[in-house]
Amino acid sequence: MNHHFAIDLALVDDHKLFRKGLITLIEHVNPKCKILFEADDGIDLQSKLNPKSLPEILLMDINMPRMNGFETVKWLTENYPSIKVLVVSMVEKEDTIVQMLKLGVRGYLCKDVEPHELGEALASIASKGYYYTDFVTGKLVHTLQNPDTSGAAHHRFSQHEMDFIKLACSELTYVQIADKMCLSPKTIDGYRNSLFEKLEVKSRVGLVLYAVRNNLVSVE
């Protein structure tokens, strides 16, 4: 895969200090690495990617403004499938990791790993094409063994349902929500009941908590 002596890298992370630190660190643990460029987020990455000189490995954060890690990886697989992504995030949530693996990333590191592990990951991805730790495979296996128990099931919602959920996370009454959505209050009644059943909640408060926990609404 790698025809140069160096491993061409690029970094996508919105925290400059972390990025710069990571760069000096990488130069220490693996001098063969060459950092082509850095980007603040997915949007920034799109403008900085030069098809004539693509990075071999992309170190990517997940939480970023404007265009996050998920969207960026999705965009990359469609536009530059040859680029291998190594996620470096502080998120340790199982479904986040699993979702990233489904999107085809070549490795997933938490930001609290030892520096030498970063070096190993880079070397492994450059030579073998991937780097999966026991931590990551452990999460993966656990997900396979417990597919959807404990309400961790990933529900999909129609546009109307999403709109309703967002409006339910407000101080509007159902009548006012119906008004905003240009639907009869009785229809809203229906949405509520079906969502209560689907999400196994018993009250509007339960629905709001579900939405918050699953990032269906922006809290801040």
Return residues touching its own copies (CB under 8 A). 14-18, 20-25, 28, 40, 88, 90, 93, 109-115, 118, 168-171, 201-206, 208-209, 212-213, 219-220
Among 146, 190, 200, 212, binds DNA (CB under 7 A): 190
Determine, following the binding rule CB under 7 A, whether residue 93 of this chain makes contact with DNA.
Answer: no
Name which position in 41, 69, 192, 199 contacts DNA (CB under 7 A).
192
Residue 67, token pair as written in the block: 């265009």
Residue whose C-alpha is closest to residue 137's, from 76, 94, 187: 94
Half-sphere exposure of 91 (CA within 13 A, CB side): 19
Contacted by 213, from its own copies, DNA, none: CB < 5 to 8 Å by type: its own copies
Q: Which does 193 bind (CB under 5 to 8 A by kind): its own copies, DNA, none?
A: DNA
Write down the least CB distance from residue 113 to its own copies, Å. 6
Beta bridge partners of 60: 12, 87
Of 14 and 161, CB closest to its own copies: 14
Residue 204 backbone class (left: φ over 0; alpha: ψ -120 to 50; beta: rest): alpha
Tell me which residue has tokens 């530059």. Answer: 80
- Of 51, 41, 40, which is closest to residue 16 (Cα–Cα)? 40
Which partner in its own copies, DNA, none is near 186 (CB below 5 to 8 A by kind)?
DNA
Say whether residue 158 binds DNA (CB under 7 A).
Answer: yes
Q: How would you list the strands of the sheet with 7-12, edge to edge?
A: 33-39, 7-12, 57-60, 84-89, 107-110
Short-list 208, 98, 211, 102, CA closest to 148:
98
179's contact among DNA, its own copies, none, with CB below 5 to 8 A by partner kind, is none
Using CB under 7 A, pick the residue from 6, 124, 204, 214 that binds DNA: 204
Min dist CB 190 to DNA, Å, is: 4
148 binds, among its own copies, DNA, none (CB under 5 to 8 A by kind): none
Question: Of its own copies, DNA, none, which one sits near residue 48, judging by CB under 5 to 8 A according to partner kind?
Answer: none
40: nearest Cα among 70, 71, 9, 61? 61
Q: What are the residues binding DNA (CB under 7 A)?
A: 158, 160, 173-175, 183-187, 189-194, 196, 202-205
